[in-house]
Amino acid sequence: MTILVTGGAGFIGSNFIIDWLKVEDEPVVNIDSLTYAGNLDNLEVVGNDSRYCFYQYDIGDSIAIDELLLRHRPRAVIHFAAESHVDRSIADAERFIQTNIMGTVRLLESSRKYWSGLSARDSERFRFVNISTDEVFGSLTPELPAFCEDSSYQPNSPYSASKAASDHFVRAFYQTYGLPILTTNCSNNYGPYQFPEKLIPLAIVNAINNRAIPVFGDGLQVRDWLFVSDHCSAVRKILRSGRVGETYNIGDSCEKTNLEVVGTICDLLDLKRPLANHTSYRSLITHVPDRPGHDRRYALDASKLKRELEWKAEQTFEAGISKTVDWYLEDRSD
């Protein structure tokens, strides 16, 4: 048996593949078009593993994907590939439509064709796991309860709108064709291998290089944080035991303002790599004009996943953020 991962050279995909090969015997085929966000160095530790192989393909290249599915005959597709940065989506929405919507629809169509040609036994166990985000639900005011699986979709950025559209297509392929899909909506991830344009790696890398740490607006936007390996363990669990056609929120109720997160990073760096002049890294925090349409608060209720599949997160925020800072300090700070 084999699984196919898309976007495996990115942040979460590479963590997923590394963790998968540690805990499962099953081979992994990784397809990634290697945009600016894809980095094969992330996968150096598995490069020589005979259970791993890589193809530089675009998910929208139906001819290549059709042929690859027939060659490797995976029993599951785990779909991480996406354009994932909100600021880039504000500057250029079209690329997000191309990959997140068109690319996903083409991948669904390739998967459907492949799945419909499988034997009854293989088609019964085939799964298409769609990796989505809590951002599709929009923004919460402070008094509102966390998003649950049946909260309405109210995306506010071109990124979240494109992910919402792809989620709808995934659902439609289940309802229309019976393709055995599962969708996951996860909260904000952090950990090793994240491209330093997102809040946490940007803050760490800038601080280490004595550059300003930009914080949008008042910095009081709230995000719900999850260590990346906990996201990966949840996806494995959902692949193994999730109910076909269902969506599962993934998170661990860890709401923090951006300013709190950046402050924690500065405090850790003050301990781990004190500045020569004994000032705090907090002096580098610089407020910059807020992002247009910036969501104020995300919070995710993952009780369905915890209850039905008995998943639980292993990392506290304190332990996870300390590990993350250590990872970037180990000579990955440029």
Please state, in angstroms and rounded to a whole number, the distance separating the CA atoms of residues 179 and 329. 44
Q: Is residue 186 part of the contact set for ligand NAD (CB under 6 A)?
A: yes
Of residues 276, 246, 282, 250, the one with CA closest to residue 263: 282
- In the DSSP assignment, the letter for residue 147 is B
Instruction: Give how many residues touch ligand NAD by CB under 6 A.
Output: 30
Q: Is residue 180 part of the contact set for ligand NAD (CB under 6 A)?
A: no
Q: Rounded to the nearest whole angstrom, what is the least distance from the CB of residue 8 to ligand NAD in the complex?
A: 7
**Identity of the residue, 231 or 306, whose beta carbon is nearer to ligand NAD in the bound complex:** 231
Give the interface segment with ligand NAD, choosing from 4-12, 112-120, 174-182, 307-315 (CB under 6 A). 4-12
**Identity of the residue, 21 or 43, whose beta carbon is nearer to ligand NAD in the bound complex:** 43
Q: Is residue 249 part of the contact set for ligand NAD (CB under 6 A)?
A: no
Please state, in angstroms and rounded to a whole number, the distance separating the CA atoms of residues 193 and 139. 27
Confirm whether 135 is a catalytic residue: yes
Please state, in angstroms and rounded to a whole number, the distance separating the CA atoms of residues 258 and 200. 9
Both tokens of 76, joined, read: 């599951």
User: Quick one: which of 2, 34, 55, 202 contacts ligand NAD (CB under 6 A)?
Assistant: 34
Please state, in angstroms and rounded to a whole number, the distance separating the CA atoms of residues 143 and 157. 22
- Residue 295, burial from CB neighbour count under 10 angstroms (0-12, 13-18, 19+): buried
Q: Is residue 32 part of the contact set for ligand NAD (CB under 6 A)?
A: yes
Asked if 276 and 210 count as a contact pair (C-beta separation under 8 A), the reply is no
Single out the catalytic residue among 57, 114, 159, 190. 159
Single out the catalytic residue among 32, 58, 83, 135. 135
Strand ordering across the sheet containing 52-55: 52-55, 28-31, 3-6, 76-79, 127-133, 181-186, 247-250
112-131 mask for ligand NAD (x: CB under 6 A)? -------------------x
Q: Rounded to the nearest whole angstrom, what is the least distance from the CB of residue 93 to ligand NAD in the complex?
A: 15
- Report, as residue numbers or ranges, the catalytic residues: 134-135, 159
Chain positions contacting ligand NAD, by CB under 6 A: 6-7, 9-13, 32-35, 37-38, 58-60, 80-84, 99, 103, 131, 133, 163, 186, 188-189, 195
